[in-house]
Amino acid sequence: MSSNNNSNPYIRLSFHYASYGRPIGTICEMLNRYGKRVEDATRKAEVFADNIWNHLKVSPSLGDAAMARLAQGTKVLAEGGHEKLFQQEFQILPGEKLVKAFVCYLSTSTGPVIGTLYISTKRMTFCSDYSFCHYTSLGQQQWMYYKVVVGLDQLGTVNPSTNRLNPSEKYIHIVTRDGYEFWFMGFISYDKALKTLTETLQHHRDYSAGIVQVQVHDGSVNSTQNPNH
């Protein structure tokens, strides 16, 4: 399962310069500032303990995965929610709205990358939680975030998949219309993520085709053609 391809048009590497390693100092400062709020949020999330454990186990390093989740949760609280983070990382397109964000991993040729999958009314995007060290040809140190950006118009299929030997390992297999593949795994809310992505894609296609769904008095839903198309 690999989605790392130098010629892949949907993968973007976002660089920034740094004179230090992983920004632990920044993370610690954020944790100290928002520790109480994270603690409260963690207590409310105890019902998801099993899913979180499965999520953490995907990473080659359990400690790094736990740190990433804690740091990302703190960042979400500090910045005011996933919508603000989505806007910062990818910029909002005209008329675009964030539908939902899900923590997960992206499979790459170098191993799973922990991050957040954003599903909007126009795009499916992913951004890694951590920046990765990169050295230029001149030996200059850079830090890059691994990003994926796919417009809903470019999405071909969304396929659920399960490891036959271990049913708890579930994947979402994405194939673009031009044949590029992405595997997402380690979701804390797998069923909700699959449902959100599938329904958002279908709604986008219905809207693009000019199909309008109308709910009638008996609760059923009828589809009709939008006269504006």
Task: Give the residue extent of every domain in the chain.
Answer: 11-225
Q: What is the pTM of this model?
A: 0.68
CA 99 to chain centre: 12
Tokens for 109?
A: 């040729």
Do 77 and 34 meet the contact criterion of CB atoms below 8 Å apart?
A: yes
Do 123 and 173 meet the contact criterion of CB atoms below 8 Å apart?
A: no
The string of DSSP letters for 118-152 reads: EEESSEEEEEESS-EEEE-TT--EEEEEEEEEEEG
Structure letter (DSSP) for residue 18: -
Number of H helices, E strands in the chain: 5, 11
Q: Give one word for 221, left, alpha or beta, with left for phi > 0 and alpha for psi -120 to 50.
A: beta
pLDDT tens profile 121-169: 999 999 988 777 767 777 777 778 889 999 999 999 999 998 888 877 8
Residue 195 main-chain phi, psi, to 5 deg: -65, -45
HSE at residue 2, side-chain half, CA atoms within 13 A, is 6
Protein fold of 11-225: PH-domain like (2.30.29)
| Residue, of 64 and 212, whose pLDDT is higher | 64
Using a pLDDT cut of 70, give the percent of the chain over it.
58
CA distance 126 to 2: 15
For the chain, give the mean pLDDT: 74
pLDDT tens profile 85-110: 888 889 899 999 999 999 898 998 88
Write down the residue that tokens 């008329």 correspond to.
95
